[in-house]
Amino acid sequence: MAPNTKSFGSLIDVSSSILTSGNPRGGPVSNLKKHRFKRKKTHIKNPKRRVNMKIKSVKARQVLDSRGNPTVEVDLETAEGFFRSMVPSGASTGTHEAVELRDGNKRVYNGKGVLKAVGNVNNKIAKKVKGFDVTDQSGLDKLMCKLDGTANKGNFGANAILGVSMAACKAASASKGIPLYSYIAKLSGHKGVKLPVPQLNVINGGKHAGKENDIQENMYMPTGAKSFSEAIRMGAETYHVLRKMLKNKYGVHAIHLGDEGGFVPPIDTPQERLELMIKAVGEAGYSGKMSIALDPASSEFYYKDKGGYYMIGEKKYSSADMVDFYADLVKTFPIVSIEDGMAEDDWEGWTLMTKKLGGKIQITGDDLLVTNVERIKTAAQKKACNALLLKVNQIGSVTESIDAANMSYKNGWGVTVSHRSGETEDSFIADIAVGLDTGQIKTGAPARSERLAKYNQLLRIEEQLGKKAIYPGKKFRG
């Protein structure tokens, strides 16, 4: 007897799609075989298909992320098959983010279980969305937010709502017979042809490395590459040169990896880290082609309750002092982007930093903006930054993520799609980066499979787009 391939499909792939990552047409893995030899037709306009686009069932479960902490996984079923999403989770989180619902039972997963969120999907959301048309992404997301009834998704949890939202988006792309990134482009009003310049986190500090009063992420940006595939090669080769240098200079412990695949060497100053990074670029043969991006995550070393000062190492800084500190780094090193250079509610510091450095580099708001259109409006009015870091789980739905990106573009800002430190094998953010034509993605070092899942998906997308693919290089801000 032949196996039931539709039900079997939901068991054979735990990546971003039973999904879409292995199927160039965007359909479920269970339908991959019949499309295997049609890759060249990916971008040919499909005839109208009479497909039942309604949700048949939704099932959530608790699984583990890259740090071994629980997260929410959702399987959504339509007539096309099963579609799976996995929700990421951050370590360094902004206080204004949508609620990530945790169980709080310290005896189980140290309080980080997500069975409450899973239960909300299975017992509250599933029955309300059954029969809903997956191609009405905005309507579905608005319905779930309305059912939740709070401004920050504090009832169901953003991790519950986002899981259903992402899975529905994948199901809709399959029902249309187009790749996920193309479907997101249609949803958002973009072309969906721009590959992102990666921000490769190669040296970890701060919370990602168990350190206090420290810049959190030191990243390479291959702005001199001519294609995404060349950019990843440049990043990977330089990463391995840096690994060898760190091991020779500091010993084997220096090449231990942080949450995002970057090294955790015993280096006390940001300047020394950056000097080593530049030296590795030269030894790899990419001098002048590799830029640097920083994510200080400064809310983590801002002491608001003690007078409102920052602290790097043992030295205290005022907001103005921090701006001068960054200005000196920008003069010395090829830094093109600084994310969260100021604390999430230090609006005066943000405005000062953008005034002094915004004409030279990208000033990206993460904890400041939390992918929230209201905070983006405020930041634009105050001229507090010139770029958005887009994290789908900060806001909790695909529609709101698209809205945040489009509002940022209207302000003339750049947009960087970002992973979280607690990641999964779901490569959804690779597709949304291309679908929104952001020109930038931040998803860790070229190491650890949950990070490489995104980079590998982007390599596939670049191949599928062929001559249509655009790699922005130094014009990453659009």
3-state secondary structure of 224: coil
Q: Give CA–CA dist 390/378, Å, rounded.
A: 16
Token pair of 175, please?
């029902």
- The phi and psi torsions of 5 (rounded to 5 degrees) equal -70, -25
User: Which of 211, 391, 442, 454 does the annotation list as catalytic?
Assistant: 391
HEC assignment per residue over 438-455:
CCEEECCCCCCHHHHHHH
Query: Contact, 471 vs 195, CB < 8 A?
Result: yes
Helix axes 449-465, 428-435, angle to 10 degrees: 40
Question: What's 313's DSSP letter?
Answer: T
- The phi and psi torsions of 363 (rounded to 5 degrees) equal -110, 105
User: Which of 260, 339, 344, 423 does the annotation list as catalytic?
Assistant: 260
Active site residue 391: yes
Question: What's 147's DSSP letter?
Answer: H
State the burial class of residue 465 (Cβ atoms within 10 Å of its Cβ: 0-12, 13-18, 19+). buried
Q: Give CA–CA dist 75/18, Å, rounded.
A: 9
- Dihedral angle sign, alpha carbons of residues 48, 51, 55, 60: negative
Residue 93's contacts (CB-CB under 8 Å, 6 or more residues apart) are 100, 367
Catalytic residues: 260, 391
